[in-house]
Amino acid sequence: MKFSPLVQRISGEGADAWLTHYEASAARDRGEDVIILSVGDPDLDTPAAVVDKAIERLRAGDTHYSPAAGRLAVRAAIAAHHAKRTGQTATADNVVFLSGAQNALFVACSCVAGSGDEIISFDPMYPTYPATLQASGAKMVRAPTTGNFRPDINALASLINANTRAIAWASPTIPVV
């Protein structure tokens, strides 16, 4: 079967992180003593208060799609928190929230970059991020870090050019674009 070029852009070494995760999960399910450090899905139980609230909302009929940008009350709370923390003016209209960092990176890169563009990202990074950053068709350019994962500012400056559309910075695994 012939797949679209997008499939090539989202494959590669990052896909191996999921294979490692599935193998570790299978070992755990067989009863082996495994600590899974492969993907950002911690083995902690969801707090009871969160489970109770979810059940309450489901029983109240909250079972339909939410707005694409997220619920207004949540966006307003995020904006208020951001304004308090940074002193920058923000409203719910300035906020979109998504289900996870990888989805947010995919959407952000799809909005700002395309074929012929470049996105700079610091090494090291979460293994699946290169494919996520390149899914838009942009080329990912790796920027080095110094000790303690600090960006090498001089190296970064030398990588910025007319094709640079974004700089993605994970510290070392939580993305900030």
Question: Who's near 67: CB < 8 A, 6+ residues apart?
Answer: none
pLDDT band for position 14 (cuts 50, 70, 90)? low
More confident call, 57 vs 126:
57
CB neighbour list of residue 83: distance below 8 Å, 6 or more residues apart: 89, 90
- Per-residue pLDDT, 174: 54
Q: What is the mean pLDDT of the chain?
A: 87
pLDDT band, residue 15 (cuts 50/70/90):
low
When pLDDT is cut at 50, 70 and 90, the band that residue 176 belongs to is very low
143 CB-contact burial (10 Å; exposed 0-12 / middle 13-18 / buried 19+): buried
User: For 26-37, what is each residue's pLDDT tens digit?
Assistant: 999 999 998 877
Domain ranges of the chain: 66-97
Higher local confidence (pLDDT), 4 or 114: 114
Which stretch of DSSP H or E encloses residue 59? helix 48-59
The number of CA neighbours under 13 Å toward the Cβ of 79 is 15
Instruction: Convert the pLDDT of each residue in 45-97 to its tens digit.
Output: 999 999 999 999 999 999 999 999 999 999 999 999 999 999 999 999 999 98
- Whether residue 5 is preceded by a cis peptide bond, meaning omega within 30 degrees of 0, is no
Are the beta carbons of 109 and 138 closer than 8 angstroms?
yes
